[in-house]
Amino acid sequence: MDRACIEKVTGKLIEMQSGGKVERLSWMEWSLSVKEPKDRSEEKYQEYLAECDALEASRLDTLKQNALNAGYKEEEIEVKWVTNEEWQVIEVTLNQPTPEQIAAKEKEVLIQAKIRKMAEAALIAEGKLVPEK
Amino acid sequence: MAEVKITDLVELNATPDDADLLEIVDVGGTPTSKKITVANLRGGLASSGANLAIGSANYKLFVNAAGNAAEWANGIVVLNVTRALDAAAGDVSYSGVGFKPSSAIFVAGLSNHGISIGMDNMTAKGVSCVFAAAYTPNHNNFSIWIANAGNTVYQYAFIKSFDSDGFTLTWAGVGSEAITYRIRCFLLR
């Protein structure tokens, strides 16, 4: 799971950071990792699980704080966990040309075609180019 | 205390019990003694980390975050993040590393735009880049540099701090464009 911060209105990605989920140890794995036998209690295990929850929440909150620091308002953004599949859907929307960029590109293509046509006509008139049949 | 062979010390005739592994007694004048106890030994081993169970294969031994015990860990993490060329300047925190890094290598790339490789340990830093318009800047004062194809709109950053679960970059730059780079961060504990 990765973390993503999205601008609600536009759906624009503000930031992504990978990972952040904590792999929780099973009771058996956790108890083997505890040195002092007196600390191997259900209460301590629940404390460990609560620490994992808090760490994950803190990691998600990192993106929220970054957005707030960048000038966004809390109600303008959505911070969430995303799967690989969800991230791929977001990623394909990145770096797409804007309508203005697309229009400028089309205009440039038309201009280049017009210039080529005029140049060919001039060369044909000068006898330096044989017109295509 | 007069010189005495250790084998002549009557205090060593008895096998040391579980509490006192070795006791050296100065019997001359006012008798005094020094002991090595089980508690001494356990404390010493704990502080040196020698009593740790073996870690996973190829793990390395680190001092824990609190600085009071040893622990096995990988100590290397790759974090993938994004940075948009229209994002505001300022500090940005990155978390999820799992330890406080000491060094970072950054690799940023975007098709048809450029690639940038930088590194920073807060003592020395530098970044080298190649952009599509054949502009190849090198900067000694930054950790990473991203730009549009002509490097006319760009952002750069350096590490402000290494944090308990990641790091903080201070970003600045020139211009704004809706371009988002992926940045790979290779972090070393």
**B109-139 residue pLDDT tens:** 998 899 999 999 999 888 888 888 877 778 8
A7 touching B (Cβ < 8 Å)? no
Residues B72 and B56: beta-carbon distance below 8 Å: yes
Dihedral over Cα of A72, A75, A76, A82: its sign: positive
A19 touching B (Cβ < 8 Å)? yes
Interface test with A, best of B72, B92, B110 (most A CBs within 10 A): B92
- Please give chain A's pLDDT, 133 residues, in tens: 999 999 999 999 999 999 999 999 999 889 888 878 888 899 999 999 999 999 999 999 999 999 999 999 999 999 999 999 999 999 988 888 778 878 888 999 999 999 999 999 999 999 999 887 7
Helices marked H in chain B — which ranges? 38-48
Q: What residue of A is the nearest CA neighbor of B46?
A: A35
Looking at the whole model, is its pTM more than 0.90? no
- Reported as a pLDDT band with limits 50, 70 and 90, residue B98 is very high
B178 touching A (Cβ < 8 Å)? yes
- Reported as a pLDDT band with limits 50, 70 and 90, residue B14 is low
Indicate the average pLDDT of chain B.
Answer: 85
Distance of residue B103 Cα from the nearest chain A Cα, in angstroms:
18
Dist. CA A59–CA B93, nearest whole Å: 10
Residues A17 and B187: beta-carbon distance below 8 Å: no
What per-residue confidence (pLDDT) applies to B158? 94
Cα end-to-end distance, chain B, whole Å: 51
- Reported as a pLDDT band with limits 50, 70 and 90, residue B50 is low
3-state helix, strand, coil in chain A (%, to 5): 55, 15, 30
B36 touching A (Cβ < 8 Å)? no
Query: If you average pLDDT over residues B29-55, what whole number do you get?
Result: 69
Q: How many residues does chain B have?
A: 189
Chain B residues within an 8 Å CB radius of A18? 78-81, 96
DSSP type of residue B89: S
What per-residue confidence (pLDDT) applies to B122? 92
DSSP type of residue B163: E
Chain B residues within an 8 Å CB radius of A13? 82, 84, 180
**B57-75 residue pLDDT tens:** 889 999 988 888 888 899 9
Residue B154: CB atoms within 10 A of its CB come to 22
The answer to whether the Cβ–Cβ distance between B180 and A94 falls below 8 Å is yes
Q: Please tell me whether the interface predicted TM-score (ipTM) of this complex is above 0.95.
A: no
